[in-house]
Amino acid sequence: MDVIVIGSGIGGLVTATQLAVKGARVLLLEQYLIPGGSAGYFERQGYRFDVGASMIFGFGQKGTTNLLTRALQAVSINLKVIPDPVQIHYHLPEGLDIKVNRIYEEFLQNLIAYFPHEDKGIRQFYDECWRVFHYLNSMELLSLEEPQYLLRSFFQKPLACLGLAKYLPQNVGDVAKRYIKDPRLLKFLDIECYCWSVVPARMTPMINAGMVFSDRHYGGVNYPKGGVGQIAQKLVEGLIKAGGQIQYQAKVAKILIENRQAVGVQLTNGQVYRAKRIVSNATRWDTFEKLLNQQEIPSNEKRWQLRYQKSPSFLNLHMGVKAEVLPSGTECHHILLEDWEKMTATEGTLFVSIPTLLDPELAPSGYHIIHAFTPSWIHEWQGLSPSEYEAKKEQAAWRIIDRLEKIFPGLDTGLDYLEVGTPKTHRRFLGRDDGTYGPIPRYKLRGLLGMPFNRTSISGLYCVGDSTFPGQGLNAVAFSGFACAHRIAVDLGL
C-alpha cells in the first residue's frame, strides 16, 4: 500500500481521492458505518439530518476556490446543488436584523441601512476582502510546502503571491479598524467572523475572511441535493472508481513507528496495515496524544498547543416540525444572539439551519427540519448519572426552543421529532477529542502564520483537516486535502 488515510472526513476523502487519481494505492480507514465525520448524516422517522452545518461553500463553477466542485470533478462525479439566495439572516442585539444576500450590493445596502454614517468604511473593508479573494481565486491552490509549486505560482502570478504574503500575518480586526469606527458595526464584524472561525475578528485570519466574505457572493452558498452527507458519499464512490479502497468499522488504535518513521497502523481488533505514507484526518490532539500513545509528543507539537487550544463543541437540537411553524419568507440559515457580551459564551450564539427550505425531500411531506446548535464544553456534561444526563439534555433543549420561539412562534406545539446531541455525542460518533470543533488561537496570533501545514516532524506521517492550514470549514479542509495529496504525490514521485 502506498498511502493509508485515517478518517473519512472531507479532508481525508479529498486527500485519498486526489492520490488515487494520481495512481497511488490508497486505503481509507473509517471507524464509523458511513463516511463524512461532521459532514455526515443520520436518518430518523423519515427525516435525513445533517450532522453539522448546512452552509456549504466550495460548489461554485468558476475560479479556483471552488474546491468541492474540483474534488468531485477529479473523480468524474457530479452532484446537483441548490443555490441559497441568503447566506445568513442575523438576529442580533439592539434590533440589528440583517440578511447577507447572495447579491453583494444587496447585502451592502442591508448593512448600510443600519450604519449609513459608515457607508464608505463598509465598502472599503469588504472591498479589501475581495482583494484577498481575487488573489486566491487566480491561483491553483496546492501545497505551500512544495518548492516547485511555489516557484511556479510566483512566476505565473507574482502580484497575487506578493499580495497573499502581505495578508498572511494580518487579522480581520486590525484591517476593519482602518476603515470603521462605530463600535456596534465592529461587533457585527465580530459575529461575521465568529459564525465560522469561532473567534472574534481580532483573532480571525484575514486570508480566511477574504475567502468566506467574498465567495458567498462569488461562488455562493450551495446546498447538495440529498443533504450534506452526499458530498462524502460521492467522494467515496469516486475513490472506489479510481481504484482506492475504504474500510468501515476500522478504528485505528495506534500509528506504528519504526526507526522514527511512520510505517503503518494497528486497528483496535489487532489488524495491522502497512504503507509508505500515513495520513491522519484526526485532530492533532487525537493524533499526537492517542494514536502515537507510545511516543513522546514532538516539541513542535507542544509549541503548537501553546498557541492553539480546543474550541468548544456544540449542543445540537435536530428537530422535525410542522411546516406552518415557519413564517413565509423564512431563510435557510439564521444566527440568533441576544447579548453581545455572551457571543463566545456557552449557549451564547445560536446557529440555525433549515435545509428543507432548499431540499424538501429531506423530511416527510408537510414538515421541515430545524437544526439548532450552540457552543458547549464537554466538562459541562461529565460526571452525570444517566438520568441526570438525560434531564440536563431536556432542560437545555427547552432553553433553546424558548429562544427560537422569538423567530418561530409556535415551535413547541409544532414539534414532531426532537433529538439532542451533546459534546459527548460528538466525541463518540466523530472521534474528536472532547468533541471539539477544531483549534482556535489561545491569544491573538499573526494571521495564519501559526497554522501547521500537512507534514509533521515524524517522517512519513502527515496531518490533514481542520487542525492544519488553513483551518475550519468544508472548503478549508478540502484545501488541506488538495495540499496534502500534492505534497505526498511529490514525495512518492507520482
pLDDT tens readout for residues 238-279: 999 999 999 999 999 999 999 889 999 999 999 999 999 999
Does residue 339 share a domain with residue 256?
Answer: no
Instruction: Flag whether 408 is in a domain.
Output: yes
pLDDT of residue 155: 64
Q: Indicate whether 292 and 391 sit together in one domain.
A: no
Work out the pLDDT band at 29, boundaries 50, 70, 90: very high
**Is 372 within the bounds of a domain?**
yes
Picking from 219, 243, 262, the residue at the C-terminal end of a domain is 219
Cis, peptide link before residue 327, omega less than 30° from 0: no
| 144 has a pLDDT exceeding 80 | no
The DSSP-derived string for 31-78 is SSSSS-GGG-EEEETTEEEESS--------SSSS--HHHHHHHHTT--
Q: Quick one: 317 and 401 in the same domain?
A: yes
**Helical segments of 369-422, H only:** 386-404
Instruction: Say if residue 186's pLDDT is above 80.
Output: yes
**Domain edge (last residue) among 193, 219, 245:** 219
- SS3 of residue 440 by DSSP: strand
For position 150, what pLDDT does the model report? 64
Note whether 127 and 184 are same-domain residues. Answer: yes
What per-residue confidence (pLDDT) applies to 294? Answer: 64
291: containing domain:
3-80+224-308+442-492
Same domain, 322 and 411: yes
Residue 295: the pLDDT is 67
Give the pLDDT of residue 421. 92
- Give the pLDDT of residue 135: 87
Residues 298 and 447 in one domain: yes
Residue 433: exposure state from Cβ atoms within 10 A (0-12, 13-18, ≥19) = middle
Is the pLDDT confidence value at 449 over 90? no
Using alpha carbons, select from 112, 107, 152, 110 the residue that is nearest to residue 130: 107
Question: Which is more confidently placed, 448 or 357?
Answer: 357
- Is there a single domain that holds both residue 132 and residue 210? yes
Quick one: 359 and 292 in the same domain? no
Contact status, residue 481 vs residue 462, Cβ threshold 8 Å: no
pLDDT at 45: 92
206, 448 contact by CB (below 8 A): no
Overall pTM surpassing 0.75 (yes/no): yes
Residues 253 and 339 in one domain: no
Give yes or no for residue 317 having a pLDDT over 80.
yes
**Helix/strand/coil for 419:** strand
CA dihedral (253, 259, 262, 265) in degrees, to 10, reads: -30
Mean pLDDT of 126-144: 85
What element of type H or E holds 439? strand 439-441
Residues 303 and 449 in one domain: yes
pLDDT tens for residues 321-334?
Answer: 999 999 999 999 99
**What is the domain-level CATH number for residue 458?**
3.50.50.60
**123 and 206 both lie in a single domain:** yes
**Closest residue by Cα to residue 477 from 488, 466, 463, 461:** 466
105 assigned to some structural domain: no
Residue 185 in grid coordinates: 458595526
- Please say if the pLDDT value at position 157 is more than 80: no
What pLDDT was estimated at residue 344? 92
Reply yes or no on whether the pLDDT at 296 is more than 80: no
pLDDT value for 60: 87
**Structural domains of the chain, count:** 3
Output the DSSP codes for 185-234: HHHHHHHHHHHHHSS-GGGSBHHHHHHHHHHIIIII-EEETT-THHHHHH
**Does residue 338 lie in a domain region?**
yes
Per the domain annotation, does 110 fall within a domain? no
Evaluate whether residue 24 is within a structural domain. Answer: yes
For the chain, the average pLDDT equals 91
What the block records as the C-alpha cell of 244 is: 482506492
Residue-wise pLDDT tens digits, 282-293:
999 999 989 997
Residue 94 placed within a domain: no
Percent of the chain exceeding pLDDT 70 equals 97
Query: Residue 52 — very low, low, confident or very high, per pLDDT cuts 50/70/90?
Result: confident
Confidence check: pLDDT of 428 > 90: no
Q: Are residues 208 and 239 in the same domain?
A: no
Q: Which of 219, 246, 268 is the last residue of a domain?
A: 219
**Per-residue pLDDT averaged across 422-438, rounded?**
86
Q: pLDDT per residue over 171-185, tens digit each?
A: 999 999 999 999 999
- Say if 283 falls within a structural domain: yes
φ, ψ at 27 (rounded to 5°): -120, 125
